[in-house]
Structure 1
Amino acid sequence: MKKQKQQNEVLEGEVKQEDQLVNQKTEREVWKDKYIRALADYQNLEKRTRDEHYQVRMFAGLAVIEKLLPVVDLLEKAADHLRDQGLELALKELYSFFHSVGVEKIDVLGKPFDPYNMDCIEIVPEGDENTVVSVVSDGYRMHGKIIRPAKVKVGKKVEEESINE
């Protein structure tokens, strides 16, 4: 009887140890899963922070560029009328600076009207239908993002009957 009791106690001890082992394995898996999730969250946070930092660096001077654009417009108009080499050189330097920070003019003349890149300020009875016939104010983009749409005049075909009247 004592032997049986000892065997039962040993078996009960083994069962308890197995239960503890199973519980420990389960707990380890839970902690491992939590660790993997926390690591993934941290890596995602690092990536998001890097991306945001990159965006901030890319567009840090955007406010300054936007303030410079009307000045560039005035200098271009002055250069068209005065034909001054110093003024043209200053504009060339401004364009070079713009290029170095990722700012570029949007080429729109003679192209189909695109409301994402252009603002139509007038429809004129000349040129091809829905095509830009003149640029009132150049548009600019910075790293692919529109910072100022071009202000344009868009052509519209006039029907022959309305011309004859």
Structure 2
Amino acid sequence: MPGEFNFCNRCGAPLSERFIEGRMRPQCDNCGNIIFLDPKVAAVAIVVDGDGLVMVKRGVEPEYGKWAFPSGYVDRGEVVEAAAVREVKEETGLDVALDRLIGVYSLDGYPVVLVVYSAHIVGGAVAIGHDALDVRTFPLDDLPPLPFPNDYRMLRDWQGNS
């Protein structure tokens, strides 16, 4: 539990790790409050540009310097579809319209749930965002290595539904 929570959000007492509901979870030693660590939700867009896909060279960790699909965390209270459109705009300068939901992806032990959409460009101009090093369209038959565990599965699902 290092770096997560050390004290109860209700009473301020120290927390201990206990096996609760099939997992180790932080629980308050004083009031018994159980801390359920919720996953983060990220929106991903597979953006079609002619016969290729728009990709972003990551300017942040994890996977700094690797090419990835435009993506980012959904803000609290934000509609997931709006987050996908916003992230593409922030990272690439491009305005997109979402075509369809490709899928929802998660991995055991990984605290992020990915909601993936296909999209096409409707406007804007390429502008490298503050958390990107580059933006480029890659031909489908010459995509760079993908950095994250679910990326190839997302791509296969997109290809199977396009």
Higher-strand-fraction structure: 2
Tell me which structure has the larger Cα radius of gyration: 1
Higher-helix-fraction structure: 1
Structure 2 length-normalised TM: 0.22
Structure 1 length-normalised TM: 0.21
